[in-house]
Amino acid sequence: MHFKSLCNKADREAINNLISKRLNKVHFSKNLEPVYRRQYQNEAAYEFRVRGIIIFMLYSFLSYGIYQIIPAGKNSTLWFSLYVWVGIIILVAWILSFLKRLNQYFDLYTCIGSMFAVAISFIIVTVVGNDHNDALLHAAMMYAVVIIYAFVGMRFYTALIAGWFGGVIGVIVTKLFHYNIDWTFLNRTYTFSSFLGMALAYAIDRQHRENYLQNCMIELNQLEMKKQSRQLQLLSQIDSLTGLANRRHLSMILEQQWRYAMRHKHPLSIMMIDIDCFKNYNDHLGHQAGDQCLKLIAQELLTISSRSGDLAARYGGEEFLVLIPMFDEKQIESLAKYLIHRIHELKLPHPASSVADIVTISIGTASIKPNEKDDLNQFIRTADNALYSAKAHGRNQYCIGAELMASI
């Protein structure tokens, strides 16, 4: 039986402890056991759709053999009236296995059905048996017990209850009707087959649990590998200092958004941003202060690029690029004004600036509805040229790249 592992409630250390210490009890911890039980019941019910047919065929073959030996008369009629119920129990359990909503009760209905199947087999031996067919009836009971323990699909403790309590019911009913019990023969058949079935059920249950835990370990390894892969992928896309996209990831997203805007005739805008006099800031306040400044500016860029499709990236050094799909020239101009205001509101001291006593930025923008004749690299250069124009005119301002685009 194979399980789809659900290991969210069991970590690697807990699984290793179970494998090394607790599997002899064929029971998991209180957190993992319910998870395992649900999965087991679903799989066991599904497999019983096939096993039930096989069990019924074995039962029919055995019944036919007994029918040929038992002499016609009262005993054969009584045997048939009792043994037919075993077949009915098998068929009912088989039908129930097709009802998915009853999968959670698989242990319950198979345990009850198996218990009564054992009890009926026990009663048949004591009530119907005679000198001519005792051995065959005892053999039939042994088959029933072993099948219940090893083939129905119940877990060890459930099978244990079904096998022994079925025998207890058989003893009680036999005593109520004052039939004799040949304990010597029964100990050699029923008791022996019960211990054999217990050993098989234990080995099967233990192996199932080991497989389940191994599946859990495999799943945990796969989850860790996927997590590491995502982390590596994220690291390959993110600038480690600012947390913004790096230039490599920016190039990929720009290409995607360019093709999308071209296909759907949508506007596309970018802003090239430079921190004014940043070299002086680093030289005067130190690189740690410079790194902190870059991080604070990056946070503001993340704030204004929070829509799906927006992207803020570190373009290089103290330069940043913000990609804003679906924004036209007027919208990107308004956003540039807002960003300059946001940076002013930070009030980061810049004693070495020739522009102001606080950190300021210069911005160059470009907007376009691209077509097949347009070039993405030229679009970026337009924003870059607009940025240099803003810096050339005194910094702490923005410049729209539309006129530059028109003159290319």
Q: Do 342 and 260 reside in the same domain of the chain?
A: yes
pLDDT at residue 66, rounded to an integer: 72
Instruction: Please tell me whether residues 359 and 260 are part of one structural domain.
Output: yes
Q: How far is CA 49 from CA 155, 268, 282, in A?
A: 17, 59, 74
| Residue 213 resides in a domain | yes
Contacts of 290 (CB under 8 A, 6+ apart): 278, 281, 282
| Residues 110 and 41 sit within 8 Å (Cβ to Cβ) | no
Flag the least confident range among 18-27, 93-102, 237-246, 349-358: 18-27
254 and 217 share one domain: no
pLDDT at 8: 52
Residue found by looking up tokens 């205001």 in the block: 341
pLDDT of residue 32 exceeding 60: yes
Q: What is the pLDDT of residue 212?
A: 85
- Please give the pLDDT value at position 5: 45
378/256 same-domain check: yes
- Distance from the first to the final alpha carbon of the chain: 70
Give the residue-averaged pLDDT of 33-60: 89
Q: For tokens 């087959």, name the residue.
A: 193
pLDDT tens for each residue of 5-26: 445 545 666 676 666 666 677 8
pLDDT band at 222 (very low <50, low <70, confident <90, very high): confident
Q: Residue 231: inside a domain, yes or no?
A: no
Q: For residue 236, tell me if it sits in a domain.
A: no
Query: 163 and 47, same structural domain?
Result: yes
The reply to whether 370 falls in a domain is yes
Q: Pick the range with the lowest mean pLDDT from 6-20, 39-53, 114-128, 191-205.
A: 6-20
Predicted confidence at residue 3, as pLDDT, reads 42
Is there a domain that residue 63 lies in? yes
**Confidence tier at 144 by pLDDT (50, 70, 90):** confident
Same domain, residue pair 383 and 334: yes
Q: Are residues 211 and 106 in the same domain?
A: yes
**Furthest-apart CA atoms within the chain: distance in Å:** 118
Dist CA 59 CA 65 (whole Å): 10
Q: Are residues 114 and 64 in the same domain?
A: yes
Q: Are residues 54 and 202 in the same domain?
A: yes
Q: Are strands 398-400 and 319-325 parallel, antiparallel or unpaired?
A: unpaired
Residue 120: which domain range?
12-224
Residue 337 CA to residue 404 CA, distance in Å, equals 19
What CATH number does residue 379 fall under?
3.30.70.270
Q: How far is CA 309 from the centre of its chain?
A: 28
pLDDT in the model for residue 405: 42
Determine the average pLDDT of the residues in 264-285: 95
- Same domain for 186 and 264: no
Q: Say if 233 falls within a structural domain.
A: no
Give 143's pLDDT tier (boundaries 50, 70, 90): confident
**Window from 55-69, 118-132, 353-367 with minimum mean pLDDT:** 118-132
Same domain, 71 and 173: yes
pLDDT score of 61: 83
Q: What is the pLDDT of residue 389?
A: 95
> Would you say residue 229 lies in a domain?
no
What pLDDT score was predicted for residue 216?
A: 81
Q: Give percent of the chain above pLDDT 90.
A: 55
**For the chain, what is the mean pLDDT?**
86
pLDDT of residue 251 exceeding 60, the answer is: yes
- Looking at residue 403, its pLDDT comes to 45
Tell whether the model's pLDDT for residue 127 goes beyond 80. no
Claim to verify: residue 297 and residue 397 sit in the same structural domain: yes
Number of domains the chain contains: 2
